[in-house]
Amino acid sequence: MKLLRYGEPGAEKPGILDANGQIRDLSAHVGDIGGRWIAPEGLAAIAALPLDSLPIVSGTPRLGPCVTGTGKFICIGLNYSDHAAETGASVPSEPVIFMKATSAIQGPNDPVEIPRGSEKTDWEVELGVVIGKTAKYVSEADALDYVAGYCVINDLSERAFQLEHQGQWTKGKSADTFGPTGPWLVTKDEVPDPQNLDMWLEVNGHRYQNGSTRTMVYGVAFVVAYLSRFMSLRPGDIISTGTPPGVGLGQKPPIYLKAGDTMALGIQGLGEQRQVCVQG
């Protein structure tokens, strides 16, 4: 299933994409795309609904973040060996973990704000993993049982804030609008192998990132199990699993986003995003 949330910010309704690419309204049956509705029982209840009888949503409504109720937005750094090389970093011996503020989460096509004082705002297409049931001390063999589905994330970063100021990466990753998420939450039954998905990103029509989840250092199952050793993962939590090469920082010379630039990005089977940059 391709689950989504549509409508104005703060007033989104739950929806589902049908086989013809039309949005069907779920609000008569589902509270929202999050919490118990993305647990195995909730997803089974949605799957049992007669899709063709659900109301069709007219027009082209704004799409909100594809999941709500996110308590933790966890990111994995330097998780593609070729991306680590382009940034001059070595491949980490364990996953690099940092948090991104949940206030950064926004719809997949909402404008991206260049923060005040920023000169190095950068792009990163990433595979997002949405947790569907509480995971604590889970094994790698069982880890995918705790995943509700997958989505596209643009893990925007301000490199000066991230790397040139004191402290952790979080302040370079957490500006408002720095977490476009969606367009859809694609349930895991439609993604038989999350380690075999092509991904890409363009800025102003030029393709900078053209990679695949095949080159991840630490795969989805390992990451879920690893994180569950240090914290419980709960329904709606998002794990952003790292980016392939081609970020602005890795260009020679580096290239960064400015107001008026347009990003387009996508992952095989998970949909596409498009954002225009504006000055914050």
Rounded Cα gap, residues 140 and 220, in angstroms: 9
CB atoms within 10 A of CB 168: 11
187-206 confidence digits (pLDDT tens): 999 999 999 999 999 999 99
CA–centroid distance for 211 within its chain:
16
| Superfamily for the 73-279 domain | Fumarylacetoacetase-like, C-terminal domain (3.90.850.10)
Taking alpha carbons only, the member of 65, 132, 61 closest to residue 105 is 65
**What is the pLDDT confidence band of residue 82, given thresholds at 50, 70 and 90?**
confident
Residues 92/81, Cβ–Cβ less than 8 Å: no
Q: Give the domain ranges of the chain.
A: 2-53, 73-279
Residue 164: pLDDT over 90: no
219-258 confidence digits (pLDDT tens): 999 999 999 999 999 999 999 999 999 999 999 999 999 9
How high is the pLDDT of residue 204? 98
The DSSP call for residue 175 is S
Q: How many helices (H) and strands (E) does the chain have?
A: 4, 18
**What is the pLDDT confidence band of residue 165, given thresholds at 50, 70 and 90?**
confident
Q: Is 202 left (phi over 0), alpha (psi -120 to 50) or beta?
A: beta
**What is the pLDDT confidence band of residue 85, given thresholds at 50, 70 and 90?**
confident
122-158 confidence digits (pLDDT tens): 999 999 999 999 999 999 999 999 999 999 999 999 9
**What is the pLDDT confidence band of residue 67, given thresholds at 50, 70 and 90?**
very high
Burial 152-161 (b: 16+ CB within 10 A, else e): bbbbbbbbbb
Vertex 119, ends 115 and 125: CA angle to 5°?
75
Rounded Cα gap, residues 149 and 132, in angstroms: 8
Q: Is 76 left (phi over 0), alpha (psi -120 to 50) or beta?
A: beta
Rounded Cα gap, residues 186 and 111, in angstroms: 23
List of residues 6+ apart from 7 with CB closer than 8 A? 13, 61, 62, 64
Rounded Cα gap, residues 208 and 251, in angstroms: 9
Reported pTM:
0.96
How high is the pLDDT of residue 55? 98
How high is the pLDDT of residue 98? 95
How high is the pLDDT of residue 21? 96
How high is the pLDDT of residue 23? 98
